[in-house]
Amino acid sequence: MRTGIITRLILTVLATFEIITIASAGDLVKFDNAPVIMGRLQQQRARERGETPTNNPDEIEGYLSRPDGPGPFPAVVYLHGCSGLLDNTRSRMAELLTGWGYVSLMVDSFTTRGIEHACEAETVIRQDVLRARQRDALGALSYLAKLPYVDPRRIAVVGSSQGGIVALQLASTHSADYFAVPDGLRFRAAVAYYPLCALATDQLTIPTTILIGALDDWSPARDCELLMERRAGKGARVKLTIYPGAYHAFDAPNLAEGMRLFGHWLKYDANAASRSIQDMHDFLATELNE
């Protein structure tokens, strides 16, 4: 009970730091996430557990922004961290991406599920949570691909923290298809801000850039270095950028004073944030170019 009260207080503090004047961050839209592909064995096991086998999609919310003009434009799906889609993050990322000429869809994986956050150690990496968020990202991909002003061949995924883990997993190799996505539709590239690199496969299937702080004690940079060593240049292009002196959430201006959250230190770093914006800009410009 006390833990729940403390958690709510921490999240209230985070929200209090949000900039009062929020720039336009797009229109609220709703879309279905990707249906699960269930084989006979999965259906049988579900029945044995007393569950009703279903591959029905869930309705998810997001915020859609687009540049001026008819398009078709490249697009970016953004995946939030374990604290949810904070207003300031949504506004900041939408402004950046649309300013660069991309349609952006900020996916909110928590609101329709009634989730306040998923930041406890055991929740951040729970496979059912990460799988649900993969479904959300692929549903967003399918939604964007149907818009007349979006080029379906040029859609990237950008994720922060837990969202960065999901972005890496979407870029990873898979032995089987778990979710129903239209044939030939896939993300063109991935950007992962301070993810847990240990949860990615040794080889990735799409060009990826990983942006992380050297002092991050929640998502260790060393795990990302080990990933780069294991892949040994195989698979799709992967670039790892480590910012000296930077901690987790180094790009969040509301954390200028720093704070401890769930046992980890979070702090804004203006230099690392600025460099990461340029690194993301250059990567997307290269990978989403015709």
Domain ranges within the chain, ordered by starting residue: 2-287
**β-strands 27-32, 59-65 pairing:** antiparallel
b/e 64-89 (16+ beta carbons within 10 angstroms → b): bbbeeeebebbbbbbbbbbbbbbebb
Please tell me the least confidently modeled range out of 27-41, 132-146, 251-265.
27-41
CATH-assigned architecture of domain 2-287 = 3-Layer(aba) Sandwich (3.40)
Residue pLDDT, tens place only, 165-204: 999 999 999 867 888 898 889 999 999 999 999 999 999 9
CA distance 271 to 118: 28
> In whole numbers, what is the pLDDT of the chain averaged over residues?
88
According to the model, what pLDDT value does residue 41 have?
54
Residue pLDDT, tens place only, 142-172: 999 999 999 999 999 999 999 999 999 999 9
Instruction: Give 55 or 217, the one with higher predicted confidence.
Output: 217
* Residue 34 confidence (pLDDT) above 70: yes
* Residue 265 confidence (pLDDT) above 70: yes
Q: What is the arithmetic mean of pLDDT over 64-85?
A: 96
CA distance 219 to 197: 8
